[in-house]
Amino acid sequence: MDTTARPSPRDRLLDAAADLFYRQGVGTGIEALCKAAGVSKRSMYQLFASKDDLLAASLERRAPGYAAALLPPPGDPRPPRARLLAVFERLEELSAAPGYRGCPYLAAQVELKDPGHPASIVAGRVKQALTEHFRSEAEAGGATDPDLLARRLTLLFDGAAARSGVQAETLSGLAVPTAAALLDAAGVH
């Protein structure tokens, strides 16, 4: 007898939303979301005011795992340069996985095109946290202009993730050396 508790309808909706929005885009319909979650539309609307709220909640829910997959863990003893490059090493690894579709947060922002959309706000916050990680590490590594370097690294990250996500580019051996060149130019050690 299986004693494992079945996830709640809310959890099933959040899981289905994260999966379908990532694979198929934010235009995925309510019918498909409810079918994938095994939840009625009525139940969905009892749990979430709208599909927009469900999208925002699914992005919020996956943010800690996204950060853990990309960023070095707290207390990582490596020097700042190595911690910065580690993000691009992870990006190269993740981009080689089957089903990789790029950064889910950038994809949501691009598809929605509305900076005031609840999901765009969540995505912007997650992307800003990545830029802040870059800025903090750049400052610790002695960058001449940590803010500018952080913006450049974010631009590199987003561009690399987007190009790889649409299978226009393979990142292996490309993202890390490009990031290293930016770090060199900024004097990060």
Q: Is the pLDDT of residue 3 over 80?
A: no
Element of type H or E holding 88: helix 80-95
pTM for the structure as a whole:
0.93
Q: Within a 13 Å sphere around the CA of 82, how many CA atoms are in the beta-carbon half?
A: 5
Model confidence at 52, pLDDT cuts 50, 70, 90, reads very high
Q: Read off the pLDDT of each residue in 67-91 and give the average, rounded to a whole number.
A: 97
Domain segments of the chain: what residues? 56-186
- The CATH architecture assigned to 56-186 reads Orthogonal Bundle (1.10)
Nearest to 18 by CA among 49, 51, 55: 55
pLDDT given for residue 51 in this prediction: 96
Q: Is the pLDDT of residue 1 over 80?
A: no
pLDDT given for residue 61 in this prediction: 97
Taking a C-beta distance cutoff of 8 angstroms, is the pair 178, 87 a contact? no
pLDDT given for residue 6 in this prediction: 86
